[in-house]
Structure 1
Amino acid sequence: MTLTAICSHAEQRQLNFSIPDSWGMPLVGLDSGQATKGFVYDLENRLADRVNRQARFIIVPRLRVIQLLRAGKVDVHCFVSKDWMQGNTADYAWSEPFIEQSDLLITRTALSCKKPPQGALIGTVHGYKYPALESDFANGRLVRDDARTQDQVLNKLAIKRYDFALSNEFSVDWYNKGKRAEAQFQKIKQIGQSQLGCMVRKSPDVPTQEILATIAKMKASDEIEQIFKAYR
């Protein structure tokens, strides 16, 4: 980075990016409560640099993300679907979607039973909604076993706290990387799919339209896909 670019960065207010603490790799890696790596971390750093700002990452409990958005304390919230947001988000503009996420029902590869029996515990993330299974949870055919993070859900499945869990496909593939076949998780079925993009706050001190245009250019040039390839 040139001296001119550094000075220009310093003149502009930082961009505040929210990072839900329920996330794990390959989306984001946390070290002592700070984001240090991962696809979303790299993407947001690249995005901030493109609009001549510095990125500031705010690690926030999953259920407080909406509260911070409404309070205007977050400038950009990425890796999010319109379907997930509740209430008024009129103060934010949406980018075009740039990646697709599949949510899966998974089990341990070595488990012979591939369908959860009546009353089975299902590993879930606290605060996450799984529309395809909500009726099963409501009538007791399946029982949620909530953990704080997606990584905790996968670890509990691995140590046999339950036999089935729900996870996004990115996290499952990351967990399976480099593991012996018998130690991997098996994907039973897809239970949902979402188109993900970014929300950008509409404010005079946020280059909203420039950020949205930059995301569109990064997608069109396959730059976003190239960033993600490092974590496949």
Structure 2
Amino acid sequence: MRISAIYLSIAVFFVAVLSISTGYAENLRVMLHCGSFPPYYFVDDKVNTGIVKDIFNAFAAETGDTIEFVRCPFNRSQYEFERGKIDIEPMSNPKWRQFSKVPGVYSKSFAVSDSIVLFARDAVVSTASPEKLLGKVIGTVRGYYYPVFSPYFEDGRMVSHMLENENKLIELLLAGRLDQALMNKDFALYQIKNRNLGDRLIVSKPYDSLDMMIRFHPSKKDAVPRFNKAIDKLLSDGTIKKIYDSYR
């Protein structure tokens, strides 16, 4: 009986140790917007999973968390985040969410997002600064905040033509209904390369560059330290760079 008791004690000890080591792991709901936003995420693509899924799967391998990707329209995803129904916005910056009811808690930076002006080839100006585009109608995405350009939209020095997503912006540029649009550099370059649009669209130099961080709902703030540790490791061993490079 004493031997059985000893074995039972040992078993309980190891279960307790295992619980301590994995007790912080959670199921985390990560927002993905509806549709495709290559190279960050794709819909029904048997070859490409996208930068966001690849990076968060790598994070999960380090943290022990389970990642659940939740798809919904952009505005809806922000609402669900504020309600605590979505735990993570995968790539964000405090400047983008400064007007949110729930700004969130941020990890350290793991990448950089470059913002550019995408021009129809016959509407290119010398620089992408707002001063060179005064009075223009600029294509934007509904619900997005553009730290450099938004003050110009707000006081009427230029007009924001809002559309549902970046794909719509490109279609209006190609149709000649817009001359310029604001968007992410990686997305624009991916579209130009894969749709052979180099003779029709021109990418400006970045007018703004922001650090990309993980935005956590405050209820998940305890996850931030372990994700910061994972970020340090995946940056130092080159994993994040390899993921980005695989889509370029």
| TM-score, normalized by the shorter chain, greater than 0.5 | yes
How many percent identity over aligned positions? Answer: 21
1:83 offset after TM fit, Å?
A: 1.3
Paired position in structure 2 for 1:216: 232
Q: TM-score of the superposition, structure 1-length normalised?
A: 0.79
Gaps of 5+ in 2: 1-21, 127-131
Letter in 1 for 2:232: A
1:29 aligns with 2:42: yes
Cα distance in 2, alignment partners of residues 141 and 108 from structure 1:
21
Report SS of the residue matched to 2:43.
strand
1:131 aligns with 2:147: yes
Report SS of the residue matched to 1:16.
strand
Structure 1 residues 204, 188: closer, same or farther in 2, change over 3 A? Answer: closer
Letter in 1 for 2:38: M
Report SS of the residue matched to 2:211.
strand
Report SS of the residue matched to 1:31.
coil
Indicate if the aligned counterparts of 2:113 and 2:184 stay in contact, CA closer than 8 A.
yes
For the aligned residue pairs, the C-alpha RMSD in angstroms reads: 3.0
Structure 1 residues 165, 213: closer, same or farther in 2, change over 3 A? Answer: same
Q: TM-score of the superposition, structure 2-length normalised?
A: 0.74
Write out aligned runs for 1:1-232 (5 A).
14-21=27-34, 24-31=37-44, 37-86=49-98, 87=100, 89=102, 92-109=104-121, 111=122, 113-114=124-125, 119-178=135-194, 179=196, 181-183=198-200, 185-201=201-217, 203=219, 207-232=223-248
Letter in 2 for 1:127: G
Report SS of the residue matched to 1:182.
coil
1:118 offset after TM fit, Å?
A: 5.7
Indicate if the aligned counterparts of 2:134 and 2:157 stay in contact, CA closer than 8 A.
yes
Higher strand share: 1
Letter in 2 for 1:182: D
Structure 1 residues 143, 56: closer, same or farther in 2, change over 3 A? Answer: same
Letter in 2 for 1:209: P
Cα distance in 2, alignment partners of residues 204 and 18 from structure 1:
14
Aligned length: 216
Report SS of the residue matched to 2:240.
helix
